[in-house]
A = this chain, B = another copy of it.
Amino acid sequence: MIPQEIMKTLSVSPPSRIVLLVMDGVGGLSEGKGTPLEVAETPFLDTLAARGVLGQTDPVSPGITPGSGPAHVSLFGYDPIRYQIGRGILEATGIGMLLGPDDVASRGNFASMDGDGLITDRRAGRISTEENRRLIEMLSSEIKEIEGVEVILKTVKEHRFVVVFRGEGLDGSLADTDPQKTGAPALDPAVLDPAAERTADIVKEFIRRANRVIGDEKPANTMLLRGFSRLPDLPSMEELFHLCPAAIATYPMYRGLAGLVGMEILEGGETIADEFEAMKNNWDRFDFFFIHIKKTDSYGEDGDFAAKVRVIEEVDPFIPVLLKLDPDVIAVTGDHSTPCLLKSHSWHPNPLLIWSKYVRRDWTEHFTEAECTRGGLGRLPAREVMPLMLANGLKLEKFGA
């Protein structure tokens, strides 16, 4: 991949518009009759494939199954090895928290502990979100600051919450306190880098005080913390690519990820139709749109083949809706594959379709994994999709004389 410093100097801003349509986890495996993409009736995607060029991408590298963080970081044009996003940061951005460089974020689970201090339930019986809110309120009013470090607590869902430690000189190089089994005590946050020693002390003190505040509650009388991390030092898409980008996503995590690279988050509603409506309503304000379809991944994770097919078929008729807006470049792809057979993210490459006036056609005719393996783009790291989209939008100048 071309170095960021050079990329910055090549990027220009003609009035062309790029749409990156991500069907999360869309790539799959055949279960008899074909993959969901092969089984789905997608006349509009197929026409776009026939007029565009296909390929397949590796989110990180061949054989590596990515989480949503690295998978999106790649699609946005960044090196997912260089820019790793910690779980705490991901969770915090996922609920819309605005983090700064002095913050260490961690995921928290409310948990149950017996009289001997042994964990009896790592999720406190998945308490209700309401109960979670009540506990967070109690904790927030009792613990606002520790040794000059601000403590910020937010409910996520059920037993899950986020805690952010805000103060100078903090470091997220700490191991999880979750013992990963019941019948064992919660761990102290082990220091993975000497720079995190003070942070470890503050976290320990936080847990001590928190256990005192909610010690008499039931079933959630303690907590387990995981994924301590700080913001990666990501340059914005505006800085790197001279884009004015917007994100449309119904799930908080993807809005959070888009926020990390400086996209403006548009209110997208709940349905796919809502999302395309949001794009239409904001068409004149941006030159790059990331539109995220969640359910292809959800049904892949559920192993629900038929439902995944239905989501793909639901997206298909929005291609002409999109084309009516007269975009200059459309890329359709996944962030990673989620085969129903595996019920999880997988290492299989993403199918990729790029359409513009300037693509070199490859005579493929269907947007399927198999056709993508025969596509003119070949097999690429996913982080090359951004330079390709920019090039097709005539947004990159020549490198060298």
Q: Which residues of A contact B (CB under 8 A)?
A: 1-3, 6, 10, 27, 29-30, 35, 56, 60-71, 80-81, 84-87, 90, 227, 339, 341-342, 344-348, 358, 360-363, 369-370, 373-380, 384, 386-391, 396-401
Contact = CB atoms under 8 A, between A and B. Distances in A.
B378 A373 contact: yes
Contacts of A390: 63
Given A30-B360, A378-B378, 9 more contacts: A62-B388, A63-B387, A64-B396, A65-B391, A68-B401, A90-B401, A347-B387, A348-B360, A377-B379
Contacts of A2: 60-61, 64, 81
A398 to B, nearest CB: 5
Query: Which residue, of A3, A380, A390, A398, has the highest number of chain B Cβ atoms within 10 A?
Result: A398
B391 A347 contact: yes
Contacts of A1: 61
B398 A67 contact: yes
Contacts of A398: 65-67, 344-345
Contacts of A387: 61-64, 347
Given A62-B384, A358-B341, A399-B64, A373 B373 contact: no
Contacts of A85: 400-401
B375 A375 contact: no
B84 A400 contact: yes
A69 B401 contact: yes
Contact of A63 (B66, B361, B379, B384): B384
Given A63-B384, A358-B342, A384-B62, A376 B378 contact: no
Contacts of A391: 63-65, 346-347
A89 to B, nearest CB: 9
Contact of A360 (B29, B360, B389): B29
Number of identical protomers: 2
Contacts of A397: 65
Given A81-B2, A388-B62, A401 B56 contact: no
Nearest to A348: B360
Contacts of A86: 401
Contacts of A227: 401
A378 B56 contact: yes
Of A63, A346, A362, chain B has the most CB atoms within 10 Å of the CB of A63
Contacts of A375: 373
A242 to B, nearest CB: 14
Contact of A61 (B63, B64, B341, B384): B384
Nearest to A60: B399
26 contacts: A2-B60, A2-B64, A3-B81, A10-B64, A30-B361, A56-B378, A62-B384, A62-B388, A63-B396, A64-B387, A65-B391, A65-B396, A66-B398, A68-B400, A80-B399, A85-B401, A86-B401, A339-B358, A341-B358, A345-B398, A346-B358, A346-B391, A347-B387, A347-B388, A370-B376, A373-B376
B362 A399 contact: no
A375 to B, nearest CB: 7
B370 A363 contact: yes
Nearest to A27: B360
Contacts of A374: 374
